[in-house]
């Protein structure tokens, strides 16, 4: 059972590298993965069969999917991120604090795109308007 925790933490390192590379390049990815690899809490969690390693990996998957949703202006990635957040809620109820973050990253997606300041604002404006419309429609949908 401990090998499963080790596998989840190894996947967490790969996902950390992927997120760092997506946001800032290969050097940032290696640096982020190195910080994660030297984390004493992750090492301690991999020694025991505990849900924290699975929870940490799901958190990184949700973060990576949120950034991909913002980069590509894709609602599919955002729905996938919220599916992962739902798995996190099923694992631990303390994941409720993560609920607003995928939507915030999606709405503020211009800030996670490389060279966003160098791009003309008129080219990105339609994406921002589309994101707000998608959010307003999602808020209007209510349970019966």
Q: Which of 49-53, 112-116, 139-143 has the highest mean pLDDT?
A: 49-53
Taking only the tens place, the pLDDT of each residue in 61-118 is: 999 998 888 888 778 888 888 999 888 888 888 888 888 888 888 877 745 455 444 4
- Classified as helix, coil or strand, 115 is coil
Taking only the tens place, the pLDDT of each residue in 9-27 is: 889 999 999 999 888 888 9
Structural domains in the chain (count): 1
What are the E-state strand segments in the chain? none
Query: Would you call 132 exposed, middle or buried from its count of C-beta atoms within 10 A (0-12, 13-18, 19+)?
Result: exposed
Please state, for a pLDDT cut of 90, what percent of the chain lies above it. Answer: 7
Question: Is residue 6 a contact partner of residue 45, using CB atoms and an 8 Å limit?
Answer: no
Provide the residue range defining the domain that includes 59: 2-140
The model's pTM is: 0.70
Task: Provide the Cα torsion 103, 86, 5, 53; round to 10°.
Answer: 40
């Amino acid at each position: 059972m401990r090998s499963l925790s080790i596998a989840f933490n190894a996947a967490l390192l790969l996902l950390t590298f992927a997120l760092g590379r997506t946001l800032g390049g290969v050097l940032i990815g290696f640096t982020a993965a190195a910080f994660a690899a030297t984390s004493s809490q992750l090492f301690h969690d991999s020694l025991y069969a505990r849900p924290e390693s699975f929870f940490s990996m799901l958190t990184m998957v949700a973060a990576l999917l949120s950034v991909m949703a913002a980069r590509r202006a894709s609602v599919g990635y955002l729905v996938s991120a919220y599916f992962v957040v739902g798995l996190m809620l099923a694992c631990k109820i303390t994941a409720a604090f993560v609920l607003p973050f995928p939507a915030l990253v999606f709405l503020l997606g211009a800030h996670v795109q490389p060279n966003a300041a160098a791009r003309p604002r008129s080219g990105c404006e339609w994406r921002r308007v589309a994101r707000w419309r998608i959010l307003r429609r999602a808020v209007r949908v209510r349970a019966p």
